Structure 1
């Protein structure tokens, strides 16, 4: 049965958006491999847990090896693991910079390289990466140039890889969210964060999950940066 059902790998799957994506794939009867630094084993036999730092190449090696050993295939990779730290540009430290590169860029590189090697041989597959709307519409109230530096690179790589692999049956897309209501944002900040979106609310985890599921089923869509940001990427607004 493991060779017939679809299999998804989700990074940063211990909480928030990643946990929501993993749960949604299970509800669609996918077998799931969930990885993050802090993830704990569960009781679902069809969700394999692989703890590890996504910035470490060995995590990608162990994750894909475990997926193939247990389930025999990988159909979808969701590059969800990422970090965000709003600071004035000159306040970032060397440690901040290295952390951004490790999680956002190196994690994408190691996981996506493994995925595309396997999916290219399979002749099918989908890679979808979670980026940020700040790449397209920076805000002076949320200084986050390192997010733009790293996540902007992922948007560019998404398009490049979509073209490189377009003839192989493998698709590469991204979801570019606004500010999503997750545990990283305290409730007392929600009103101010909601006002940063033209639609006047923060996004919900379900909004990002729906976008990922749409892209996963959209067989003629590749190289797409799908904005799920309450209108942020469309332009400026006044509150």
Structure 2
């Protein structure tokens, strides 16, 4: 085990953007702690997996302890795990509310708090949140109040934490995607979803991976909400 190598935690890591991030961080020379509710063990000795509900504080503790026990440090946390519930506002029920708050906000809170505490001891680190451009530019026909409420909260927390911890060498940023081709979106919906972006296409997982790695490598960037959304956040078209 090489404790000099940096270590990244990635949540929601079993598929889509999260799986792409695990692969990219490994290629960049990081050790990775990958977590999701049903993630399977990895054959890669540089990847530790932790299965569990990110909303449970016990899962956050296990993720941090696994990273420290296996790799000896925590350098980056990518808060990728999240849910999106598309319903009109009056159709949301208590279960929808609790599920969105638990996954999108409580999961972020518990794990980020533990990770930052460790980064303070090490003298630095980096957090990246994956949010959504619907926070800045709602789309008629895509009801998104709970996404805007929770992911918008992550954008605000990103800026707040960036200022609070700038003097401790901990950077905090976010990537705000448009609609990305992941297993969440069936192929038959792709044409319609592509039309919701000024560039006329959906985003690819690699688009988001590239943005996260840009922030990872950009030591003078903190408090940034980087829109990777095919022009959605720029305005109506």
Match of 2:163 in 1: 163
Residue 6 of structure 1: CA displacement?
0.8
Matches of 1:122 and 1:33, distance apart in 2:
17
1:15-30 pair list within 5 angstroms? 15-30=15-30
Residue 2 of structure 1: CA displacement?
2.4
Residue 29 of structure 1: CA displacement?
1.5
Match of 1:232 in 2: 232
| Structure 2: segments with no counterpart, 5+ residues | none
Match of 2:141 in 1: 141
SS of corresponding position for 2:112: helix
Shift >2 Å, 4+ stretches:
none
Matches of 1:102 and 1:2, distance apart in 2:
35
**TM-score, L = length of structure 2:** 0.99
Residue 42 of structure 1: CA displacement?
1.6
**TM-score, L = length of structure 1:** 0.98
1:92-111 pair list within 5 angstroms? 92-111=92-111
Match of 1:181 in 2: 181
Match of 1:152 in 2: 152
Matches of 1:7 and 1:138, distance apart in 2:
35
Matches of 1:39 and 1:11, distance apart in 2:
10
> What are the superposed Cα offsets for residues 11-51 of structure 1, whole Å, 9 maximum, x if unpaired?
00000000000110011121000000010112111100000
Is 1:35 aligned with 2:5? no
Superposed CA RMSD in Å reads 0.6
> What are the superposed Cα offsets for residues 117-161 of structure 1, whole Å, 9 maximum, x if unpaired?
111111110000000000000011100100000000000000000
Is 1:112 aligned with 2:101? no
Matches of 1:140 and 1:234, distance apart in 2:
16
Residue 111 of structure 1: CA displacement?
0.8
